[in-house]
A and B are shown apart, each in its own frame.
Chain A
Amino acid sequence: MERDRLLDTAQRLTHLQRLEAESIFIMREVVAECDKPVMLYSIGKDSSVMLHLAMKAFYPAKPPFPVLHVDTTWKFREMIAFREEVTARLGLDLIVHTNADGVRQGINPFNHGLSIYTNVMKTEGLRQALDRHGFDAALGGARRDEEKSRAKERIFSFRSRHHRWDPKNQRPEPWKLYNTRKNKGESIRVFPLSNWTEFDIWQYISLEKIPVVPLYFAKERPVVRRDGMLIMVDDERLPLRPGERPEMRKVRFRTLGCYPLTGAIESDADTLPAILQEMVRARNSERQGRMIDRDGMGSMERKKLEGYF
């Protein structure tokens, strides 16, 4: 089938086959050397690819680790439905964690400001979940082409007892000799998709026919225009500002997160080839639709210092 197309006649691996093999190697290294790994599953396209690679890496065994979703309670409804469907179909051990303190305090993206909301519901929620289960390695789907501080991060990225990243003191990581040693309480974030680009991800999804959340495909959806972004009215909790009225537009998402913080783009791309075609002609990067990255220069780096991802 498609695999024949991946392997060219000279028996030399193609670009995507190399990336696939590299990611599988990284995941196997985690399982062989770490005591209690977990895979962070954000339900997006990168997580879908990472999960697909994990199924390959350990076949015929199931991936020997649970998948963890940190649920802020503000995810798109279609994401949650997709999460349930995928983990049931693949027979995976799913852990869903929500920061109960944050819920009790009623922390939301509207009244508390972006950085407090992100810090409490995402960063703090993730730290709670990792500490509660005592995970010593967490696989994440971040890519180096996403953002400048990620371009500098190791594949095996060490975290202190307090989940802090020290960008100026990263372990050297030559060849593919990953150092997984750590003391009790310390942990490692591992990024098997480090060397993939957004285009590689979509191309691979297309070749391997990997299911993704339907929100990536264009459809008529109710949106409001807010702060230069198109925000989808996914449920009745979105407080409308004076003068705002939801209207139906044909939109899709390049990246998925909390619905009040994720901008849609107007698009007619309702198939994978159309998405790829749109990307070839794209003039904006995918993180443009992320409000979280906008609160100042180096904001991703600051969040990572605090233990976000």
Chain B
Amino acid sequence: MSTKRSTYSIVGKSRPKLDAPLKSTGRSLFTDDIVLPGMLHGKIVRSPIAHGRIVNIDTSRAERLQGVKAVITHRDTGGVMVGPDQMLLCDDTVNYIGDEVAAVAAVDEETAAEAAELIQVEYEPLPAILTLQEASAPDAPILHTYCEDNFADERTMVYGDPDKAFAESEYVRSDEFISNPTHNCFAELHVALADYSLPGKLSMWTPSQTAILFQKNLAQNLGLSESNVRMCCLNTGGAFSGRTDVKPHHYIAALLSRKAARPVKIMCSVDEEFIVCRAGGNNIYRFKTGFMKDGTLKVIEADMLHDCGAYVETQFIVLLLTGIMLQLLYKVEAMRYQGKLVYTNNIPYYFHHGGGMTPEQFALGQHLDLVARDLGIDPVDLQLKNAVEKGYTTLSGTHYASCGLKECIKKAARKAGWKKKYGKLPPYRGIGIGCGVMSSGGKGMFVHDTSAAFIKIAEDGKASLFTGLPDMGQGSHTTMAIIAAEALGITTEDITVVSGDTDIDPFDVGSFSQRGTFTTGNAVKAACLDAKKQLAKTAALKLGVKPSALVFKQRSVYPKGAPEQAMAFEDIVFDTLHSKEGRFVMGRGFYNSPSDKASLAYSFGTQIAEVEVDPETGFVKLLRMTVAHDVGRAINPLAVEGQLDGQAFSGAGQILFEECLMDSGQILNPSRLDYKLPRPFELFEIEHIIVETNDPFGPFGAKEVAEGPLVTTAQTIANAVSNAIGYPIKEIPVTPERILEALKQKQKQH
């Protein structure tokens, strides 16, 4: 680790997660572990065809089955829409294989499954549109009548004067890239438990990245007031951007529960998991850049077509980010971007870890690698030449108050032995570099990006920290406890994190857009400073100094420079309560980035991969990854390493292994076995380089490390493979068959 010694007592020291011991015993509760009195089990009836009209739905046999307590169709939803174009339970048209048509609740899973099979739906098939090309053709049948064509949304961005910049460029290159859909494959399957037994209040247990957005959407669409929806997000078994919005099964569980007046649990089966959504993005990118011969980047132009499947959800974020990202990493004079969301009859798209940036950064990274080759410039030098730095303001107006990109590039290159290896490896061995950038927080996507926090301090000097930020495994509860402990001068063990119930939690937009550490961290810090101010008043009186002259450290409070006069932290708390004023210490704080359009802090990263390609089978062996990331400040280095490891591995999966194989609107490999997730045998060596740039806006200098590493990995490995085989990588994942095909193409050219 590369950093100046920090002056903090707790921040920066590795420690296990607070909830790890309980999780290690299996006693941490996940949604499927909860059984409510009288609970029923729900099952959804889904469309077996990709596109068609519903002629008739007959539920009578299901209703008569012993043990069935509720059956619902579109007639029971009150016309609820779960998106701008999606009706909850289809009324006349189904738009993809898996579209929800009806649902049942019964006394046990077996009865529910049996009843679901008894519901007879008669369809009249319509032609299905399954590819981006078909859907974007001028004469394509229109899938959603509210649209004039199949473009669900589009976004154009222009900065500077791209035409002029291209005209002035000495070298111009264009490439087209394709990415295929992937899947999040969280360990915990999609599940929802709804208790809407009484009309006034809906309680829902479900894994989630954002209880608040779930609450808001459920309330709005079910006609409830927000406070009448209680979201309980206990533990979440992985999320990877795939649990940021309420899905049809959540609404269906609620409506079944209302109708049966009993709690209802819907647990998806492992293949249903792949029907709820696809992820990653089936995208076509076209990149064009203009350079000077010395490698100076002048202009970037990109188009993207994105297959959003049957319905749009929050894909506008992908449209937006894809454009913005183009000008965040390198100094550039001008850029032009056009992105389009395209309706098809495929399974709807949802985010996979990286929010669509993983394939985009692959495409940009591989494109730049090809540029470096053409210009005869070492890719490391090309990166260094164009990398943004501290103090730089991008075309879109983002200002970098901290930036360790160049430090990441240099350190990674040194650690990986780049100079000794690049261009000097034996045949079919390759090395590649990639760089990435990621915002800390989602400002720019929503009006506000607020997190709030409360802290209450008990007489024994221990504190309860209330946060609405879900911990899906990243360890944010521990990170928040560390921030609170540091701010209050107590220990992490003194903090109990209370979270996971919207009846109790303070407002928090949620755990996505890499906002936890930065945004909620700042809110927690603010709440703690508020509490500290209340304590300082008492301590100042006792110690006869000004509050500003007090030091809070290691459970004690003393005047600056006079630790011998220290009072115990808990005594100050005690004295504050047991006084005439009788003040109970509780702090409140919130944080909303004061900038208008973009985040205040960005993380940067560089990775270097070394691979070996078997030219006979096309198999790639990933030998080692060097992963450098500018995290601002590592609040808990152990957790940062966990993020780097997990994302490097996941990125390797996305680039080398993972693909939803599609045929006629169906995923052919909807399982943990056939969707080729890498496992322990596919492990590689990994070297961490944590770069700390002490961001002025981050809590104790910290920035995100939630997705930045991931979006860097895919391009890095692709570049290494391309280096090994001496041929461009144009489509991901880079499967053995695609590699052999590339080698054959290469041979043809020679």
Q: Are chains A and B native binding partners rather than an unrelated pairing?
A: no
Name A's B-contacting residues (CB within 8 A).
none
Name B's A-contacting residues (CB within 8 A).
none
